[in-house]
Amino acid sequence: MKANQLNCREEHRREEIVEKYNIKLIAHTKLLKGQDKISCAGAKCTNKYYTFQYENKKDKYDNGSFFCGSEAAKSFIRLANLEPIKIFNPLSGESTMELDDDTPHNENSTEGTGNSPKDDDYKNKWNALAKQLHTAINLIIVCWNVPIYGRLARYKADVMKYKYREPFFERIEFVNDVIAKDKKNRTLTQMVDDLRTDNPTLKHFNFDLLEEKLSAKGIKSNF
């Protein structure tokens, strides 16, 4: 995965980055014990971290992703006018909006649809398969020290945006193939189990719906 770390240590640098690049917020994640996630500001992230993707406004080949901590993330969210997203906390298995009081957000910001209340209620409910795929991508972020980018980041954004829909099979297969690139040849479940030594309250995750889809096509599951 391509992770071009940008120097974002000072506010003026973050302003320059937002001026030069299109910035997208990909993930907001709880930091686990025994993990080091290095911020674009140069320091180790503490407690939680954010994943951003960037693409040069004039050169689409100048792109990548980076981690950063809360202060830098709040700055990027404000400068690029981004919508904050809920934190993924694998210790509790729940996503909770952990935002400071001075961070603007809209809890009903599925897409700003202007639809009827029934439509909005439907679109705020997770499709079970989409939920498992979203959890799997979040766990890839947790288990690997390289921030996701490209298709994987795009699929994560899409599954959040269209969480009420069953994801396309090709996207499930793509995530399955990404997991297969683990340097230790582990399944995603095995990766999570390895983290449990330092994090005994880590939740046990179920990917049965994803595995059923792969099995129906005769494809080995890496979940």
What is the per-residue pLDDT across 95-136, written as a single tens digit (0 to 9) for each?
444 433 344 443 333 333 344 455 556 677 999 999 999 999
pLDDT for the residue numbered 214: 99
**Which amino acid type is present at position 56?**
N
In 3D, which of 77, 73, 82 has the Cα closest to residue 31?
73
Judge whether residue 201 has pLDDT over 50.
yes
Strand partners, 29: 49, 88
Q: Is the pLDDT of residue 19 over 60?
A: yes
Name the residue among 155, 158, 165 with its Cα closest to residue 127: 165
Q: Which of 30-39, 83-92, 117-126 shows the lowest per-residue confidence on average (mean pLDDT)?
A: 117-126
Say whether pLDDT at 37 is over 80.
Answer: yes
- Position 99 scores a pLDDT of 39
Kindly state the percentage of the chain with pLDDT values over 70.
84
**Cβ burial 104-125 (10 Å sphere, 16+ → b, else e):** eeeeeebeeeeeeeeeeeebee
Report pLDDT digits (tens) over 148-181. Answer: 989 999 999 999 999 999 999 999 999 999 999 9
Strand segments, DSSP code E, in 74-140 are 87-89, 94-96
Q: How confident is the model at residue 7 (pLDDT cuts 50, 70, 90)?
A: confident
What is the rounded CA–CA span in Å between residue 173 and residue 105?
33
Q: In terms of pLDDT, which residue wins out, 99 or 79?
A: 79
Domains of the chain, residue spans: 11-216
Query: Is the separation of the CB atoms in 176 and 96 below 8 Å?
Result: no
- State the pTM of this model: 0.84
Please give the distance of CA 3 from its chain centroid, rounded to a whole number.
14
